[in-house]
Copies of this chain bind each other. A is one copy, B any other.
Amino acid sequence: MPETDPLSATFAALADPTRRMILARLADGEATVKELAEPFDMSMQAISKHLKVLERGGLIARSKQAQRRPCQLEPLALKQADDWLEGYRRHWEERFDRLSDYLRKVQDRESDDGSKR
Enumerate chain A interface residues (CB-CB to B < 8 A): 5, 7-12, 14-17, 20, 23, 27, 73, 75-76, 78-79, 81-82, 84-85, 87-89, 91-92, 94-95
Additional pairs, 20, CB under 8 Å, beyond known A75-B95, A76-B92, A82-B82: A5-B17, A7-B20, A8-B16, A8-B20, A10-B15, A11-B12, A11-B14, A23-B88, A27-B87, A27-B88, A73-B91, A75-B88, A75-B94, A76-B95, A78-B85, A79-B92, A81-B81, A81-B85, A82-B92, A85-B85
Does the CB pair A89–B82 fall under 8 Å? yes
Task: Give Cα A101 to B81, complex, Å.
Answer: 24
Shortest beta-carbon distance from A23 to chain B in Å: 8
Q: Which of chain B's residues have a CB closer than 8 A to the CB of A76? A: 92, 95
- Residues of B within 8 Å of A23, CB to CB, are 88
A23 and B87 CA atoms in complex are apart in Å by 11
- Which residues of the partner chain B approach A84 to less than 8 Å between Cβ atoms? 20
B9, B15, B75: the one within 8 Å of A12 (CB): B15
